[in-house]
Structure 1
Amino acid sequence: MAVIGAGLLTACDLDEFNPSTVSADIAYKDPAGFESLINYCYDGLYYFYGKIDGIGIMEMGTDLWISETKESGFTLYNSNMNTELGTLKVFWQGFYSTVNYCNTAIYYADQVEGYTEDEKNAKVAEAYFLRGWSNLQLVEQFGGVVLSTEPSSVAGVDNNPVRSTEADFYDLIISDLKFACEHLPISQGAERGRVSKKAAYGMLAKAYLQRTRLEESNASEYARLALEAAQELIDNQGQYGVALYQSDDNESGYTKLWDGLNNKDNSEFLFLEAVDHESSLNPDWSNRGRTRQYYLMDLKTVGAEWGTTEKYCAWYGRANDRGFKPTKYLLTEIFEPVEDPADTRFDDTFFTDYYNSRWSDYTISQELVDKYGKDASLVGHVIKNTVWTYDTDKSYYGVNASGNVNMVDEDEDGYLDGLSVFTPNYTIPAEEKALMPFLCVDPTDMFDASGRWVTSESSSMGTYYKEVYPSMKKFSSLYWISNNQRWQGDVPILRLGEVYLIAAEAALRYNNDQSLASTYVNAIRERSAIASRASEMDVADSQVTLDFILAERARELAGEQTRWIDLKRFGKLTDSYLAETNPDILTFDESKHIVRPIPQSFLDAIANPGEFGTNGY
């Protein structure tokens, strides 16, 4: 059972107790009423993971992604990044709402009747965890803003808030997460989305490590504590019920990590957004899994000229909200731009093959050959239809998806006969591309000489090629696709692979132990290749530097809503770094862009907006 519902109540809870019919003082003394309050503390995460409000603020404006149209305030740091930005308001209000629910639960915990002390602590520890996690998000995005520890129903409305320091935030975050580590249970049983000790230790390690960016005099001690918390999980995996997926001769462990059959009981997921796929009792019902459509290339115009469609490509997603696309740095420097790398993480992160999904064969015309500079011999070539209904053992729902039939190479040209569009991250000679019986767009077509994405001004084909690129694949396992817009899989917020990288980074920040750091890095890298190629992934101790780990985090975590705070911790939110890795960001103002604007709705609601400020915007 997932943690579910508007307020995250199970149907059983609703039958037993309805806290809305009595006062809070009475409702929260009853264990069922108190547990309903704890459930409300989870509500906010459903609006940040898999949704644009979280993706924009957590992943964009970095070295990995760009968009000229979607969330341009975050992607380009242009004038749309201001106090009126709507998604910024959602983030601010959502996390402060979570903090308030958690404060309420913590306040009433000692009044609950019928719990033993251990039962009470185990339950309220969920609120401590979620408050710590929420405050970590708030301080990293907005800096030292309002640190709240009392519920608004008790403290009343604060019309004259004051800023707390970032150190104050981290003091409370760490205290909350330590409480969670001590009191959360090892397991929450069948309730998939509830936090347990594994989540608490992972988040504590993350918080300790992130605090090192404050450059306090004891920063190395926080690195040591981060290493200690990470090692608690890594060294006791059986105790906490966690494990890295291991490679075999056919699949890498990383491939298994994202396999749909492993999604709902994943040994690497520590903290997750649990999606109720059976009854849709989520805060926004079945309206889940939008992540993939924000990162999707154009399947309905340029792709459609070669046989793809938005309507029937359930595997890839719906292209109506597309906009986020990878930078050249991500495609060709983070990932090795070769045809057959040992590292499977590029193929497990991106779609590069897009198949004919028209439900009928598609014939290449003279007009298409002329428009895209293809060889004349391709006129009349047939791209085979690949759409069919998936068997129930391959999909929980049974969906129409491309890539199921006619997946053959009968003409023996080295490519499947239903391939419509191909977007590799490595370069293919122009004369070879001209002979390919499908649209092939590689980095030489996607980017201009400066590393920026092509435009109609910078390339004769820029109008078309700027819409064609690898699309993020991580949240698109066919098993959990209910339609081309909704994906019903669970979404990891923190997983064991990241804890290994936290441990490696902490070892360097503590005492520059490259040997220990390489042990953790190589464990992650080896499981990213099939067993016979694992040794190709090993790196020497001397190679494991902080810059190497930052790149490794991109290979491991691209698209998982961690990158903005990663760059902040590494001191890479600078104009020079972003100009080098993401030149489409024309200007990064280091005097203000390392934090986000304070939402205008908050400033308008307080009596001292001038004193509080706008974070420089």
Structure 2
Amino acid sequence: MKKSFVRGFATVSVAASLLAVATSCVGDLDREPFNEVTSEVVYSDPANYKPILAKLYAGLALSGQTGPSGKPDLSGVDEGFSNYVRQYWSIQELPTDEAVIAWGDDGLQDYHRMNWTSNNPFIRAMYNRISYQIAACNEYIRETKDDKLSGRNITGTNLENIKKYRAEARFLRALSYFHSLDLFGNPPFADENDQVGSFQPRQISRAELFSYVESELKAIETELVGAKQNEYARVDQAAAWTLLAKLYLNAEVYTGTARNTEAITYCKKVIGAGYSLQNTPTAKFSAYGRNFLADNHTSPEVIFPVTFDGNFTKGYGGTTFIIHASVGDSISAAAYGIDGGWGGTRTTKALFNLFPDTAADRRGRFQTKGQKLEIDNLTEYKYGYAVFKFRNIGSDGKVGKNITFPDTDFPMFRLADVYLMYAEAVLRGGTGGDLGQALTYVNQLRTRAFSGTNAGNITASQLNLNFILDERARELHWEGHRRMDLIRFKKFTTAAYLWPWKGGLKEGRSVSDNLNLFPIPSTDLVANPNLKQNPGY
């Protein structure tokens, strides 16, 4: 039976609430205050450190203190919308060929039409959620400094454990700063050394933030628990290595300098850490499909998940959103293990066409009944095929414990992504790897996709960067990678690749390159005079 680590934060909800209000040091967070006790009271007891750490993990999965509504972390936005994974999925998927959404909420259609501004409420929600998460991590790291632990007479095993918790908090902060680096480029910056409430955060350059995230991940590399040695859903060295690989693979975008050799180095560390592909199908599900089911916590390839539990992490974000939003009236909600669909998300024909044989390639699963491939209207659910990927059903065919709130975890990092990053970095000229090994990794993914046969395997002459971009879509679609990938391949804003409704036209069009970055929300520009807007906004 899956145990969700984020359940632990509920035991010290007072302390979790304290974190929400003690850390207003990054942006205008629009927080809901629940200040009930002081940090000294909370942190004087070593037993509280792990549950408060759980709150930091819960910041990725939940949007408030009670869920699914009531006592939200952030005000000024619907609590269901403000969930970290939901906002991250939306901002990385909806502007691309992989996803459209039917709903008409103010600013939501701006994503796929690529006409957003600094006043967009969904961009602001993502920005504020990242800022909140960073601020909460800063507070935890500040309270676990060596001098503070010494002053509280915390020693022995308690001290050793808390230092490991601190390393995990530094990873979670680095993850959110990585997201900010990727999405906003030049955000406000604060760490544990900045005094709460006494300053306006400075703006950090994209190159400087890249170096900061890199240095943080390297600093904690030896402090984290060894790969595969931590509790499920808590980070370990392999999670840090994966994030470093991803950072280096995108380095040319972020800094102007390619770092593909370093990407290969850290991909090899992850690959050598003992993870393996989920290669065992069941009577009901393909081996690939098992990575996205209600018992995907059993997958040997998931490196870092954001966990969800139908009874203990209730909310309208995360995989609740991903699964419910993809189901409309013409589609059986029971096939997804839920009590009803929201009629929202579909995909474009550009993704569908990457699967020339959906019968053979088991990754290409689309709901076509009642749907039309051509999208004549973005706001009508019937236009565009639905993606049949995440489900609230276990490998044995049994529905999750709650048909409204799924048990399905969100795989933030998994081994298949690392295989493809390795192959791409080799093709981009990185050293320390080789094309033969890259081909082997790609064909391992394709062998699994084609039901254990070599029918879909490719040759060395077919392995090139364009193939890798398409293969990443086939393997990783709807997992929050696509915008980042398209930008890295210079196809997000340019005319080199068009998809339906890119730039607001049915046939697609190129857009301004400034859209490779999102704007700093206008609310934060007003609140913090140290900030300057990203170019083009």
- Whether these two folds match at TM > 0.5 is yes
Contact 2:392-2:399 at 8 Å conserved across structures: yes
State the shift of 1:597 in Å. 1.9
| 1:559-596 CA-partner distances (Å, limit 9, x unpaired) | 11111111122222223034357657435532421111
Give the TM-score, by structure 2 length: 0.79
- Per the alignment, residue 419 of structure 1 pairs with none
- Per the alignment, residue 44 of structure 1 pairs with 59
- Per the alignment, residue 205 of structure 2 pairs with 165
Closer/same/farther in 2, CA of residues 608 and 200 from structure 1, 3 Å limit: closer
Q: Is structure 2 residue 294 aligned with structure 1 residue 256?
A: no
- Between the aligned partners of 1:74 and 1:539, the Cα distance in structure 2 is 35
- Between the aligned partners of 1:265 and 1:520, the Cα distance in structure 2 is 22
Comparing 222-231 and 177-186, the one that deviates more: 177-186
- Per the alignment, residue 9 of structure 1 pairs with 9
Q: Is structure 2 residue 141 aligned with structure 1 residue 97?
A: no
Alignment match of 1:126 (pick from 141, 155, 168) = 168
Is the partner of 1:592 in helix, strand or coil? helix
Q: Is structure 2 residue 87 aligned with structure 1 residue 65?
A: no
Closer/same/farther in 2, CA of residues 115 and 14 from structure 1, 3 Å limit: farther
Closer/same/farther in 2, CA of residues 151 and 28 from structure 1, 3 Å limit: farther
Alignment match of 2:88 (pick from 20, 29, 54) = 54
- Per the alignment, residue 385 of structure 2 pairs with 469
Closer/same/farther in 2, CA of residues 522 and 76 from structure 1, 3 Å limit: same
State the shift of 1:605 in Å. 1.4
Query: Where in structure 1 are there 5+ consecutive unaligned residues?
Result: 353-421, 423-438, 448-452, 456-461
Comparing 178-187 and 522-531, the one that deviates more: 178-187
Q: Is structure 2 residue 378 aligned with structure 1 residue 344?
A: no
State the shift of 1:291 in Å. 0.7
Q: Is structure 2 residue 242 aligned with structure 1 residue 202?
A: yes
- Between the aligned partners of 1:583 and 1:287, the Cα distance in structure 2 is 25
- Between the aligned partners of 1:201 and 1:29, the Cα distance in structure 2 is 33
Is the partner of 1:267 in helix, strand or coil? coil
Aligned residues: 481
State the shift of 1:187 in Å. 6.4
Closer/same/farther in 2, CA of residues 226 and 187 from structure 1, 3 Å limit: closer
Alignment match of 2:348 (pick from 317, 322, 327) = 327
Contact 2:85-2:317 at 8 Å conserved across structures: no
Alignment match of 1:526 (pick from 435, 438, 447) = 447
Q: Is structure 2 residue 348 aligned with structure 1 residue 290?
A: no
- Per the alignment, residue 510 of structure 1 pairs with 429
Contact 2:56-2:133 at 8 Å conserved across structures: yes
Is the partner of 2:288 in helix, strand or coil? helix
Contact 2:59-2:84 at 8 Å conserved across structures: no
Closer/same/farther in 2, CA of residues 615 and 36 from structure 1, 3 Å limit: farther
Contact 2:84-2:318 at 8 Å conserved across structures: no
Q: Is structure 2 residue 176 aligned with structure 1 residue 174?
A: no
State the shift of 1:18 in Å. 11
- Between the aligned partners of 1:102 and 1:602, the Cα distance in structure 2 is 20
- Between the aligned partners of 1:39 and 1:486, the Cα distance in structure 2 is 20
Is the partner of 1:492 in helix, strand or coil? strand
Is the partner of 1:589 in helix, strand or coil? coil
Contact 1:206-1:502 at 8 Å conserved across structures: yes
- Per the alignment, residue 119 of structure 2 pairs with 84
Q: Is structure 2 residue 532 aligned with structure 1 residue 616?
A: no
Closer/same/farther in 2, CA of residues 501 and 166 from structure 1, 3 Å limit: same
Contact 2:229-2:236 at 8 Å conserved across structures: no
- Between the aligned partners of 1:248 and 1:54, the Cα distance in structure 2 is 30
Contact 2:117-2:519 at 8 Å conserved across structures: yes
Alignment match of 1:589 (pick from 511, 518, 522) = 511
State the shift of 1:130 in Å. 0.5
Closer/same/farther in 2, CA of residues 18 and 494 from structure 1, 3 Å limit: closer
Closer/same/farther in 2, CA of residues 313 and 545 from structure 1, 3 Å limit: closer
Closer/same/farther in 2, CA of residues 529 and 271 from structure 1, 3 Å limit: same
Is the partner of 2:517 in helix, strand or coil? coil
Contact 1:59-1:563 at 8 Å conserved across structures: yes
Q: Which amino acid aligns with 2:355?
A: F
Contact 2:170-2:220 at 8 Å conserved across structures: yes
- Between the aligned partners of 2:443 and 2:293, the Cα distance in structure 1 is 22
State the shift of 1:92 in Å. 0.9
- Per the alignment, residue 278 of structure 2 pairs with 245
| 1:342-387 CA-partner distances (Å, limit 9, x unpaired) | x21113xx344xxxxxxxxxxxxxxxxxxxxxxxxxxxxxxxxxxx
Is the partner of 2:304 in helix, strand or coil? strand
Contact 2:183-2:518 at 8 Å conserved across structures: yes
Is the partner of 1:510 in helix, strand or coil? coil
- Per the alignment, residue 430 of structure 1 pairs with none
- Between the aligned partners of 1:339 and 1:288, the Cα distance in structure 2 is 24
Q: Which amino acid aligns with 1:28?
A: Y
State the shift of 1:157 in Å. 4.5
Contact 2:140-2:166 at 8 Å conserved across structures: yes
Contact 1:252-1:530 at 8 Å conserved across structures: yes
Is the partner of 1:156 in helix, strand or coil? coil
State the shift of 1:168 in Å. 0.9
Is the partner of 1:171 in helix, strand or coil? helix
Query: Where in structure 2 are there 5+ consecutive unaligned residues?
Result: 19-34, 64-81
State the shift of 1:42 in Å. 1.9
Give the TM-score, by structure 1 length: 0.70
Closer/same/farther in 2, CA of residues 608 and 215 from structure 1, 3 Å limit: closer
State the shift of 1:178 in Å. 1.9
Comparing 107-116 and 248-257, the one that deviates more: 248-257
Contact 1:106-1:128 at 8 Å conserved across structures: yes
Is the partner of 2:458 in helix, strand or coil? coil
- Per the alignment, residue 156 of structure 1 pairs with 197
Is the partner of 2:490 in helix, strand or coil? coil
Contact 1:329-1:582 at 8 Å conserved across structures: no
- Between the aligned partners of 1:483 and 1:18, the Cα distance in structure 2 is 27
Is the partner of 1:487 in helix, strand or coil? coil
- Per the alignment, residue 21 of structure 2 pairs with none
Is the partner of 2:59 in helix, strand or coil? helix
Alignment match of 2:491 (pick from 564, 572, 590) = 572
State the superposition RMSD in angstroms.
3.4
Alignment match of 2:43 (pick from 7, 28, 32) = 28
- Between the aligned partners of 2:226 and 2:316, the Cα distance in structure 1 is 29
Contact 1:64-1:330 at 8 Å conserved across structures: yes
- Between the aligned partners of 2:119 and 2:229, the Cα distance in structure 1 is 43
State the shift of 1:335 in Å. 1.1
Closer/same/farther in 2, CA of residues 140 and 14 from structure 1, 3 Å limit: closer
Alignment match of 2:260 (pick from 196, 204, 223) = 223
State the shift of 1:155 in Å. 4.0
Is the partner of 2:412 in helix, strand or coil? strand
| 1:5-41 CA-partner distances (Å, limit 9, x unpaired) | 4xx5254x67999987653245335423333442332
